[in-house]
């Protein structure tokens, strides 16, 4: 075939995390005992009350199309949730319900970006942010956030990259992959800069339910009306409610942006899954006990993982405050040889571990941080213990 395909989309790279997940599943299907730290979803079942609500909807027969931007009842519930938990007042016309938070992010960049626009992305970043920006014909601009500062953005670094083309900044708190959580004071500094330079804030808050050590998740949009007008809040059901496969995400924004996103979605996908939308109403309004139980289990695993990693020679990590990930510092292994394999970068490190210790991790290069690897503690405590023992034994045997 001699047909020229889309130049823009030929340059889109596949998701590294999904690629690794596929390889792990293949190895397991071949009978190989792999311990995976690559998973990006809770290892808990969706709560029973949510599943029962979905079954009830199916039996009732409420399975047709909904409004393209989401069920009015679900939008009302989302508004109530944002008011109660985040001190944010929105109306249903500000809410767009989508096929997962990733779809919400796609809608956002398609709605706000033009060619030559720049979107500021702090690193380490979630793997899809740069690709979603490029798919909207905009340019990612990276700011390296150091481990010494908890992988968080400094106001002077943000100011230094702002140009007349800066359209938005992505703020992911709690963060994938670092687990970092911004304080109110840090958010106030970012908000002041965004308002002064008239920059949009894309606030990805999908991990807000998973916060530890008595810390509090604060939405930047709640600080004042000026920053709220410039903020697009993203959230969803996947992480906090163990509903990854149900594919329900949502945004809250000013009505102008919401209208554009709704129009885009109406042509691209029609409505999100009807049954999942009804189930999400139950998730947001029903018993929250199982959500807190899941959070406590993650907290226990987090503490064990951080302590055990810091016992292993020549690797280390800082303590994450949210989500279910740890960024492990492997900089002391870069340039060294392991079992005859020269470690030039985090990909080499990950490959050596998978092939020799049957431990799967995600190389930091996927997140723009090549001196690190990401480990997920969304797996059992037994798997975490065994996997870290394998890493320790392999590196230091």
Residue whose C-alpha is closest to residue 328's, from 283, 375, 379: 375
Alpha-carbon torsion 233, 237, 238, 241, what sign?
Answer: positive
Identify the pLDDT of residue 246: 98
Q: E strands of the chain, at which residues?
A: 35-36, 95-98, 118-123, 139-144, 166-172, 200-204, 231-236, 249-252, 316-317, 325-329, 337-338, 341-342, 359-360, 362-363, 372-376
Q: Is the pLDDT of residue 25 over 90?
A: no
Q: Where are the domains positioned within the chain?
A: 7-45+290-396, 48-285
Dist. CA 93–CA 76, nearest whole Å: 10
Whole-prediction pTM: 0.96
Tokens matching residue 81: 């949730």
- Do residues 120 and 170 lie in contact, with contact meaning Cβ atoms separated by under 8 Å? yes
Identify the pLDDT of residue 198: 98
Dist. CA 268–CA 231, nearest whole Å: 24
Q: Is the pLDDT of residue 10 over 90?
A: no
87-to-83, 199, 224 alpha-carbon distances in Å: 5, 22, 10
Beta bridge partners of 325: 376
Identify the band that residue 14 occupies on the pLDDT scale cut at 50, 70 and 90.
confident
Identify the pLDDT of residue 28: 82
Identify the pLDDT of residue 86: 98
Query: What confidence tens digit (pLDDT) does each residue in 346-392 have?
Result: 999 999 999 899 999 999 999 999 999 999 999 999 999 999 999 99
- CATH pick for 7-45+290-396 out of 1.20.1630.10, 1.10.40.30, 3.40.50.300, 3.90.1150.10: 3.90.1150.10
175-to-57, 123, 133, 231 alpha-carbon distances in Å: 34, 10, 18, 17
Query: What confidence tens digit (pLDDT) does each residue in 36-68 have?
Result: 998 889 999 999 999 999 999 999 999 999 999
The architecture CATH gives domain 48-285: 3-Layer(aba) Sandwich (3.40)
């Amino acid at each position: 075939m001699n047909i020229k395909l889309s130049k823009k989309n030929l340059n889109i790279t596949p998701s590294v995390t999904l690629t690794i997940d596929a390889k792990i599943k293949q190895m397991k299907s071949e009978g190989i005992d792999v311990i995976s730290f690559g998973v990006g979803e809770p290892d808990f079942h969706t709560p029973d009350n949510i599943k029962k609500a979905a079954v009830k909807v199916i039996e009732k027969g409420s399975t047709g199309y909904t409004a393209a931007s989401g069920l009015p009842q679900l939008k009302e519930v989302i508004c109530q949730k944002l008011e109660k938990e985040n001190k944010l007042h929105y109306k249903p016309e500000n809410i767009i319900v989508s096929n997962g938070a990733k779809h919400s992010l796609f809608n956002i960049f398609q709605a706000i970006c033009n060619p030559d626009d720049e979107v500021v992305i702090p690193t380490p970043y979630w793997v899809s942010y740069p690709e979603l920006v490029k798919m909207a014909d905009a340019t990612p601009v990276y700011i390296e956030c150091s481990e010494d500062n908890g992988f968080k953005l400094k106001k002077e670094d943000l100011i230094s990259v702002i140009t007349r083309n800066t359209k938005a900044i992505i703020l992911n708190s709690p963060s994938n992959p670092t687990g970092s959580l911004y304080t109110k004071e840090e958010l106030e500094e970012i908000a002041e800069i965004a308002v002064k330079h008239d920059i949009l804030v894309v606030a990805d808050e999908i991990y807000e339910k998973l916060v530890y050590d008595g810390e509090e998740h604060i939405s930047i949009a709640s600080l004042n009306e000026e920053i709220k007008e410039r903020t697009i809040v993203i959230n969803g059901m996947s992480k906090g409610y163990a509903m990854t496969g149900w594919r329900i995400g949502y945004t809250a924004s000013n009505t102008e942006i919401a209208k554009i996103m709704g129009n885009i979605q109406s042509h691209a996908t029609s409505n999100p899954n009807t049954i999942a939308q009804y189930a999400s109403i139950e998730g947001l309004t029903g018993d929250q006990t199982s959500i807190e139980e899941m959070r406590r289990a993650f907290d226990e695993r987090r503490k064990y993982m951080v302590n055990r990693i810091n016992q292993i020679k020549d690797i280390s990590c800082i303590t994450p405050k949210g989500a279910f990930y740890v960024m492990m510092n492997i900089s002391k292994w870069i340039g060294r040889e392991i079992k005859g394999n020269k470690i030039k970068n985090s990909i080499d490190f990950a490959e050596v571990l998978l092939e020799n210790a049957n431990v799967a991790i995600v190389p930091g290069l996927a997140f723009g941080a090549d001196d690190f690897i990401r480990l997920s503690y969304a797996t059992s405590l037994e798997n975490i213990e065994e996997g870290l023992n394998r890493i320790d034994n392999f590196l230091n045997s």
